[in-house]
Amino acid sequence: MARDLTIAVCQTGPIQKSAQRAETVDRLVALLERAAAAGAEIAVFPELALTTFFPRWRIDDQAEIEAFFEPAMPGPQTQRLYDAAARLKIGFALGYAELARVDGGRFNTMDLVGQDGTLVGRYRKIHVPGSSEPEPGTTVHLERRYFEPGNLGFPVFVYRGVRVGMAICNDRRWPETYRMLCLNGAEIVLIGYNTPLQLDEAPALAHLRMFHNHLPMQAGAYQNTVWVAAAAKAGVEDGQALIGGSCIIAPTGEIAAQAMSLDDEVIVHRADLDLIAVCRKVNFDFAKYRRPDQYRLITDQV
């Protein structure tokens, strides 16, 4: 019997610092409704989908920082999105700033939520980029000021009989992300990202920004025979242009669907899960050809 899962990528336009959380959740609910109306069974939202990308600023006021974080999910302001999932019978993956209940740790997090509106699984961003203080001559990117590296590994969760993994923004540029998820059994990788259109430190590479956005995701999909669905935040957010380019990528490495705007947009594609086995048989029979005994240098710190 053929296996498939219809995936929606819910790209958002900019979320300004002045936006109220309730207003943003309204937008996400509207996108989820559009995804469900198009027949999607699961949707993915961007990284930090509830707020502006606040690591672009150095913030010292603790109350201001705390306002960007979610101490519980769902919370009073986000419950409507979870209720919508249950009403529409569609799951979703949502990126947000997590204030951990147990130890107060702060993480760049993505939750996988089921069709009943309850938590299926959680991922915390492992490859946290940037710095803790502004660095002269570079685009201000202070994720390391606000977030700890993820501590949950690369978990894979079962959703409607499909094995789903997650990754966040800079994670998508690292081949280890896809390989670990693949080795853990992932069939689909859901990604959320916020990526600047321009980098102050590399103006000569500006024309390659979208190419470099898609390249690692296409390579990761192809080399690990998985589907990849990636949701961007796009447009000009608080004065910074974000790249957009949300997409769904097949295990062949082909882009099966791509957003065309820099605003709220939904793209949908039916992912043929049987294609994974076909691609794996052709090129990537891991059990037969993979040589982990020869790769040990990869795990050594350099």
Catalytically annotated residue among 47, 98, 143, 187: 47
| Tokens representing residue 237 in the block | 């957010």
Report the candidate in 14, 85, 30 with the shortest Cα–Cα distance to residue 261.
Answer: 14
What is the C-alpha separation between 236 and 223, in angstroms, rounded? 33
Residue owning tokens 């390249």 = 215
User: For residue 202, which phi and psi values (nearest 5 degrees)?
Assistant: -140, 60
**Residue 199 CA to chain centroid, in angstroms?**
21
Q: Which amino acid, one-letter code, is at 16? A: Q
125 counts as catalytic: yes
Report the candidate in 157, 151, 161, 215 with the shortest Cα–Cα distance to residue 190.
Answer: 157
Report the candidate in 276, 45, 298, 302 with the shortest Cα–Cα distance to residue 169.
Answer: 45
Catalytically annotated residue among 10, 125, 237, 247: 125
Catalytically annotated residue among 41, 70, 169, 233: 169
Integer angstrom CA distances of residue 244 from 170, 176, 270 = 14, 24, 21
User: Which positions are catalytic?
Assistant: 47, 125, 169
